[in-house]
Amino acid sequence: MWLKKADGSFQKFDKEKVARTCLRMGTDRQTAYEIADKVEARLYDGIPTSKVLQIIFHYMRRRKPHVRNLYDLRKGISLMGSKPEFEAYVRAILAHAGFEVSPNQLLAGKCVNHEVDGVARKNGFTYFVEAKHHLNYHTPTGLDESRIARAVLEDVVEGFALGKSNLKIDGAMIVTNTRYSQEAIQYGRCRNILQIGWSSPAGHGLQDLIEGTNLFPMSCLRGLKRDMRDKLVNYGIVTFEQVLNEETAEIARKTGLPSQLIRKIKDDIAFGNLNNTSLSS
């Protein structure tokens, strides 16, 4: 059976992948494979992958009602605000990946100053970070972003050499919630730009980084309105982990959100086992 992806290409149905998705949603192994069998029975050649995801949700909601509160991971990230929510989320992921991360700042170049979304240091190497968010996660990140990053890198490297800055930048990093176009990938490799996309580099893409740290974003919680998320972001909370680890009273005091609402958010996360959930269409 062949599934049709959003980009028009096809992939073979993998029952194991469906079972793994169910397991990540907190169900037991037997139930996961029962659901995988039911999903397989409803397939037809050319069924969209988005429809398969809907079928999985349908059966999972019967077994775990709290799943109805969850958006799939890619959809949840697409609902983020580009600034400051996605930028803050990227910095949180990089910090958990072992980077020392600083927030938005101005870098002095030879010609002009450049505002960047963050600075990340690891193993003696310093990157400036650009977070590129797309509402439509099927839209590839193109060549322009990498060309701009290269131009900024050249200017700030020259600015440091001229003594205009005391911060030595060694490389450029772009983090996006989509895939890169083939031209962008080719240019990035040629110009030594670290490009982190949804599924690239292999084993170290955005999806891998999220699943490896369980840093699922608050935007994956269905029903949590944007203005509520903004208040949490302003307090520095962008992930499930952060809201679970913080005292309810302290969050209420700093954000102005009702304690009752915060307790409900925590319940939806904890009882829905959302900290261990990842769905990727």
Same-domain check for residues 174 and 206: yes
**How many folded domains does the chain comprise?**
3
Instruction: State the pLDDT at residue 274.
Output: 41
pLDDT in tens, 31-68: 889 999 999 999 999 998 878 878 887 887 777 665 55
69 in any annotated domain: no
pLDDT at 224: 86
**C-alpha 83, offset from chain centre:** 14
Q: How far is CA 89 from the centre of its chain?
A: 7
Domain annotation covers residue 72: no
Closest CA to 268 of 201, 217, 200, 222: 222
Is 71 inside any structural domain? Answer: no
Quick: pLDDT tens for 105-124. Answer: 999 999 999 999 999 999 99
pTM, 2 dp? 0.76
CA distance 47 to 10: 10
Residue 172: inside a domain: yes
pLDDT tens for residues 77-94?
Answer: 999 999 999 999 999 999
pLDDT of residue 130: 97
User: 202 and 131: one domain?
Assistant: yes
What digits encode the pLDDT tens for the residues 94-103?
999 999 999 9
Enclosing domain of residue 152: 85-210
Segment 139-143 shows an average pLDDT of: 93
- CATH code of the domain covering residue 137: 3.40.1350.10
Of 278, 135, 134, residue with least CA distance to 210:
278
